[in-house]
Every structure is written in C-alpha cells, then in structure tokens.
Amino acid sequence: QDREPQKSLFTDLFGIFQQQLGRLAMSGGQIDSVMQEDRQFPPSAEFQAQASIGSLAAYEKLYDESIQNPEKFWGDFAEKELHWFKPYDKVLDWQPPFAQWFVGGQTNISYNCLDKHLTTWRKNKAAIIWEGEPGEQRTITYSQLHREVCKFASALKGLGLNKGDVATIYMPMVPELAIAMLACARIGVVHSVVFGGFSAEAIADRNNDAKAKVVITADGGWRRGKLLPLKETVDVALDKSPTVEHCVVLKRAGNNPPMKSWRDRWWHDLVETASADCPAEPLDSEHPLFILYTSGSTGKPKGIRHTTAGYNLYVKKTFEWVFDHRDEDVYWCTADCGWVTGHSYIVYGPLAAGATTVMYEGAPNWPQEDRFWDIIERHRVTILYTAPTAIRAFIKWGDHHVDKHDLSSLRLLGSVGEGINPEAWMWYYNKIGGGRCPIVDTWWQTETGGIMMSPLPGAIATKPGSCTKPMPGIVPAILDENLHEVGKNQGGMLCISQPWPGMLRGLWGDDDRYVQQYWTKVPGKYLTGDNSRQDSDGYYWIMGRIDDVINVSGHRLSTIEVESALVSHPNVAEAAAVGRPDELKGQSVVVFVTLKSGEANDALKQAMKQHVRKEIGALAVPDDIRFTNSLPKTRSGKIMRRLLRDIAAGKESVQDTSTLEDYTVLAKIRGDEE
C-alpha cells in the first residue's frame, strides 16, 4: 500500500508522436508501439531477502559472467550440477547454425532427475503430487518414481526397444505420462509426446514423420467430466502408421477398448514382470532426448529436436532462477505435458532441481470454476505457473470463485504462452497473488527448450505485460527489415545472437527447413518469429508474431496492444484483433470480443471504440467490432487470428458472429496443423 505504483495506463502517444512514428515506420519498417505501461512492481524486501538471486546487481553480475565467458559459465554449472558417466571435452562446438554442447561427455537426464536425489534426503521427498479430474490423489516420492521409471524402462527394453528408437506418447495427464517420458530417456529412446486432444490424423502424421516404433497410451482420460477414449483414437491412427510395432495401454478410465493381441499390451501386465533394476544408459550429450511437433507457417508441423545434456542443464537452471525454487516449495505448472511447457517445467526442470511438482489431469472448471483455487488451497501450492488464456477465463467466471478459497500459501506466480494483457496481469497480481506475489511473465518457445526472458522474481521489478530481461546466456537483438538493430522503444524482429544450451538442434529429419526457417532471413542469428521492443529501461515487450501485425495507414499496430486496450474495458473478457484489407488504409482493425458483462449492442460498441480511442488513439479504433461467445483457439490456447482474419475479410461465410462458436470446433480441427 505504501508503494502504490504510478498508474497511467496507455498514454496517447499517437496524439503526440504520430508523425514521427509514421516517418520512422516508413524509413525503418519497424513496428510502432502505442502501449505505454508505466506501472512498476519491485519485489518486496521480504521476498528479496529469501531469494537466491535477491538484487538487480546479483542478476546483472550473473548475466555479465554468462556473456563474458559463456563456456566457463555453463561449464561450471554442468560440472557441479549434472552427473557425468564420462566427462565432456568441450563445452561448446558452434558451427552456425548447428551447436553441440558438452561435446564428448556422457550423461542421462533420467539419472539427473531421479538417481541423483536418491543419495540425499530428497529420496523420500514428494516428486509428483497428482490429482485426477474425478478427484483421485497420488503422491509419489523420488524413490518411488525411480522404481516405477526403472520398471517401465525394463518393460520397453523387453518389447525390443533400443537406443535411438522413437516412442509416441499419447496420454492423459497422469503420473504414468511422466514415467513414460523418463523411462524412454533412461534407455535412450526418443519420445514424441502428442497432446491428448489431437486427432488420429495428427497422431498418424507424427508417427510417420518420426518413424515411431511404439505408441504409449491409455484406455481413456477425463476432461470436463467426459471420458476421452484415447486408445480408440490411437487405433484409428495405427491403421495408418506402418512403422509402429507395439502399443502399450495404461488402464486409467476402465472403458475396455478393444485390444489387438499381436500389437497391444497392457501397461500393468508389462511392468508386473519387469525388473526394477534398470541402470540409466550413459548417453552422449547430444543424443536426441525428444521430438515435439509444433505449428509452422505451412501446414506441416515441425518436429523440434532437443538433445540431452544442454537441455537438461538449461531447464534445471532456468527453473531454479525464474521460480526462485526452494526445497519447501509446492510448485504447480498447469500446462499439459503435450506442450513444451509440460516437458520443461512439469517434468524435466523441476525434477532435475529436486522439486515437488503438482500434476492435474483435468479442466479448470470441473466440477466448478474454482477447481484451481481448490487445488492450491488443499495442496498448499506455493508457486503457480499458468497461461493468460486461463487467467482471462477466471476473470470472466467471476471473483466469487476465488473468494471461497485460502490462497495464502502462494508466494510466486508465473505466466506463459502469450503476452499477458496488463489488465489480466493486475487481476492475477491482486486477486490471486494478494498483492504480495511477484509475477514472472516468461517468454520462450518450443524451439528454445526453456525460458528465454523473464523477471528473476527477487531481482527485477516487474511491469505488467513485459517479460522484462533475458536469462543469463541469452543475447537478444531487435532488427528492422533492413537487418539493422533498432533503437529503444522501436519494435522489430526479435532474434537471438548467441547459441544457448537449451536451443533446438534441428528439425527431425529436415535440417534444410531448420536452416531456412530460423537462420536465413537474418544470417547468423536465430529468428524467433516474434516482434518485440525494448523500453527505455531496457525491458523487453513481446508484440506478437511477426505475421500478426496490423498495418493501418502505414502504421504497424501490434495485435496485443489493441487487445490489451479492449480487455481493459470493464465489459470485455477477451479480445482478438485482426487486420482487414481496406482500400484507404491498407488495413483496418477488426476485433472479436467476448463479454463478461453488459449487453452486446451498438451502444456498447460505441463505448468500446471510444475506449480504444482514449487508451491508444484514433488510429487503433476498430472499424468493426463483433461480439462472440468464444474465440477460436489452437489446442494450446492461442487465438487463431489467421482464421479470424479470413472471417473479417469475408472469406469464410458466417451469417452472424454468434456462430463463431462453431468455429471453435472448426478451429480445433484446424488447430492440428496450426
């Protein structure tokens, strides 16, 4: 209270700088920023006192060390914090754009996540606290997890799987999903986790691209009270997956799917006779750990390839730094293991750090909209890591769901997946964090393996909507179309100038596409595909994907900024902004809006236009506002602006926008390629 921050949301920069910005935009081709967010939230003295990196100076020292001598920086951590069956000869071999880390060494991430803790007091610490959607609970200690992983790894060996083979994992969020990942890693089998919401077609595509030899699945899982018949979906996929020899099925839901005796085996039958003695295989540092398919600009998904040692070290260190992890924490990341967030910050990062990680199977609104708060209260969760799309849903569902619960155990909040609108940030901070928990807004990608930019919560004052500063070892650069670095407060393409241990090593079976996609437009730098700007304090602001930019009369507007202005209107729950071809302006702004209150009528539209005019300026005022019940999203919760662009341009015929509901379904189908 005594530090009530300055509140000036969006200053009408356009009113003042419109002409200059316009000229700059023409000459340099960078993106104009209209968002002026001045609020700052420094960590409390109390938080800083207990933090492992508890001052800006400590962060800066760490960062400087990492830049001055990256090989020493990462090498020291690798030597101290990973187990080496064979020491490496060289920290980094960089043949742009191909990096090898800890060359010549041998390690095993399953060993580093499990065996390493068994000689310490953490042996009997909870590794995973799991809750099923129907309400079952399990706590699994490191020692127990080790045993389960060893048994399942033995079972996979028994099926004839060898180092280098590929396993597709298509499972609900149950502990066996993490066990399967760790078991693969233990014996050098490369896993490819496919999100449990994807279609048979998507599974088959991924099986075929990776030449998977086994699919690990479950009979079913639970989502919003409904049973998802996973095995039946897999059966359809396997008809088109000639490389797959085995299918292992976990009994989770008891829905008795048909089993083909020549191909399908029950998990429990396999582990019953499998040995609990299965030492971790020494693997080369660059042995592939996993493939994770992600959206590309073309239809075909890209198989992002991550490897063993560098990834292991990067997710462990970033987990410890960003979440300021302490042994008494109960950490909950609400993602699904089908996404990279689940790989790096439910399974590998937390377990490598010896943390207690919570896993929840189901939906946030089952049986009620307070399920998350209920879980936090009962398990005394101290760190919550979730996504803006979830936060906006909570706001829409109403504060009374939150008010029913004691959230005093929380000490730190995280956000990931897309930019967080300042209004949603403020709600998260005040309503969930009680004004006492720092928010770490973490920017990264499937490709980057781990968090690239985020506040370190004891060191860096946060600003709503900014991912603040780079991690140690990360060197960002913002370039204009002519590949010149832009100045402060100018948007441009976000690139990374130096290799880092967690970076992707390539695309599965397609190195040309890897070079083409990430290293060609800007030679020598990793192209993230995001736009960004740095403010006068050196803070980074992500401005959305490069192709999300709306160009109005020569001014490039960032979708997130228009959306944030709309979300700050009291009636608005969520907003998606897209550009529509316009004869005069090049593009005009069309927004799709879901309401949390108020009536969807013309008066409200006018009020909202007025609001945007006030928050940003005339240029950003939408030409068209369309109310809808929900926004079409990819399976990972990203708004499908491409689809909305087509609707806005009249390419997709919809009678009225309320039928956008149907597009959610359509979007889900298309989300497979998105």
- Count residues near ligand WT7 (CB under 6 A): 21
Which is nearer to ligand WT7, 332 or 627 (by Cβ)?
Answer: 332
The CB-of-544 to ligand WT7 minimum distance in angstroms stands at 6
- Residue 542: name the closest of 555, 553, 529, 551 by CA: 529
Residue 162, number of CB atoms within 10 A of its CB:
11
Q: How far is the CB of 494 from ligand WT7 (least distance, A)?
A: 8
Only one of the segments 87-95, 236-244, 422-430, 439-447 lies at the binding site for ligand WT7 (rule: CB under 6 A); that segment is 439-447
Decide if residue 672 touches ligand WT7 (CB under 6 A): no
Tokens of 39: 């609020």
In this chain, which of 418, 423, 561, 672 binds ligand WT7, going by CB under 6 A?
418
Residue 442 lies near ligand WT7 (rule: CB under 6 A) = yes
- Residue 65 makes CB contacts below 8 A (sequence gap 6+) with 72, 73, 472
Which one among 545, 555, 645, 668 touches ligand WT7, defined by CB under 6 A? 545
x/- mask, ligand WT7, residues 584-623, rule CB under 6 A, reads ----------------------------------------
Stretch that binds ligand WT7, among 95-103, 412-420, 477-485, 500-508 (CB under 6 A): 412-420
CB of 639 to ligand WT7, least distance (A): 11
Exactly one of 141, 312, 636, 657 binds ligand WT7 (CB under 6 A); which one? 636
Binding residues for ligand WT7 restricted to 239-278, rule: CB under 6 A: none
Q: Does 517 bind ligand WT7 (CB under 6 A)?
A: no
Please choose, from the candidates 315, 306, 376, the residue with its C-alpha nearest in 3D space to the C-alpha of residue 346: 315
For ligand WT7, which is the closer residue by CB, 419 or 458? 419
Task: Judge if the upstream peptide bond of residue 457 is cis by omega within 30 degrees of 0.
Answer: no
Window of 78-86, 321-329, 400-408, 522-530 that interacts with ligand WT7 by CB under 6 A: 522-530
Segment interacting with ligand WT7 (CB under 6 A) among 337-345, 427-435, 480-488, 569-577: 337-345
User: Does residue 555 touch ligand WT7 according to CB under 6 A?
Assistant: no
Choosing from 126, 274, 340, 474, the residue that interacts with ligand WT7 (CB under 6 A) is 340
Q: Which is nearer to ligand WT7, 419 or 422 (CB)?
A: 419
List of long-range contacts for 83-86, beta carbons under 8 Å, 24+ apart = 83/107, 83/108, 83/111, 83/112, 83/115, 83/116, 85/282, 86/282
CA 508 to mean position of chain CA atoms: 20
- Residue positions in the annotated binding site? 223-226, 341, 365, 417-419, 441-446, 530, 545, 553, 556, 567, 569, 572, 613
* d(C-alpha 302, C-alpha 296), whole Å: 6
From 268-276, 396-404, 444-452, 620-628, give the range in contact with ligand WT7 by CB under 6 A.
Answer: 444-452
- What x/- string results for residues 287 through 306 when contact with ligand WT7 is judged by CB under 6 A? -------x------------
Using CA atoms, how far apart are residues 366 and 637, in angstroms rounded to an integer?
A: 18
Starting at the edge strand found earlier in the chain, the sheet holding 476-479 runs 476-479, 492-496, 526-534, 540-545
Q: What's the chain's length in residues?
A: 674
Which pairing describes strands 166-170 and 214-218: parallel, antiparallel, or unpaired?
parallel
**Using the 8-state DSSP alphabet, how is residue 122 labeled?**
G
Site for ligand WT7 in 459-488 (CB under 6 A): 467
Choice from 14, 63, 314, 443 touching ligand WT7 (CB under 6 A)? 443
Cα–Cα nearest to 620, from 590, 595, 582: 590
Dihedral angle sign, alpha carbons of residues 346, 351, 357, 359: positive
CB of 419 to ligand WT7, least distance (A): 4
Identify which of residues 115 and 423 has a Cβ nearer to ligand WT7 in the complex. 423
Number of helices followed by number of strands (H, E) in the chain: 23, 30
Residue indicated by tokens 């008010």 = 403
Burial (CB count within 10 angstroms: exposed 0-12, middle 13-18, buried 19+), residue 334? buried
| Closest approach of ligand WT7 to the CB of residue 387, in Å | 8
Candidate residues 441, 535, 615, 674; the one interacting with ligand WT7 per rule CB under 6 A: 441
| Strand pairing class (412-416; 356-360) | unpaired
Distance CA 229, CA 215 (A): 15
Stretch that binds ligand WT7, among 124-132, 172-180, 413-421, 513-521 (CB under 6 A): 413-421
Q: Whose CA is closest to 614, among 18, 32, 38, 15?
A: 15
Instruction: Give the whole-angstrom CA distance, residue 303 versus residue 294.
Output: 7
Q: How far apart are CA 448 and CA 528, in angstroms?
A: 9
Contact indicator for 462, 494 with CB cutoff of 8 Å: no
Complex with ligand WT7: residue 188 or 388, whichever CB lies closer: 388
Q: Which of residues 341-380 bind ligand WT7 (CB under 6 A)?
A: 341
Q: Which residues are annotated as a binding site for CoA?
A: 223-226, 341, 365, 553, 613
Q: Which is nearer to ligand WT7, 107 or 442 (CB)?
A: 442
Give the CA distances from residue 494 to residues 20, 156, 444, 485, 528, in Å, rounded to whole numbers and listed in that order. Answer: 23, 42, 12, 10, 6
Nearer of residues 464 and 472 to ligand WT7, judged by Cβ = 464
DSSP state for residue 548 in the 8-state scheme: G
Please tell me whether residue 444 binds ligand WT7 under the rule CB under 6 A. Answer: yes
Q: Residues near 290 by Cβ (< 8 Å), separated by ≥ 6? A: 181, 185, 190, 191, 192, 193, 305, 306, 343
For the CB of residue 386, give the shortest distance to ligand WT7 in the complex, in Å: 12
419 binds ligand WT7 (CB under 6 A): yes
Taking CB under 6 A as the criterion, the residue among 197, 301, 310, 417 binding ligand WT7 is 417
Which residue in 153, 347, 437, 542 binds ligand WT7 (CB under 6 A)?
A: 542
In the complex with ligand WT7, the residue whose CB is nearer, 467 or 573, is 467
Specify binding-site residues for ATP: 417-419, 441-446, 530, 545, 556
Query: What token pair was written down for 97?
Result: 């754009």
Q: Does 446 bind ligand WT7 (CB under 6 A)?
A: yes
Which of these segments, 47-55, 202-210, 442-450, 620-628, binds ligand WT7 (CB under 6 A)? 442-450
- The three-class DSSP label of residue 336 is coil
Give the residues lining the site for ligand WT7 (CB under 6 A): 294, 339-341, 416-419, 441-446, 467, 528-530, 542, 545, 636
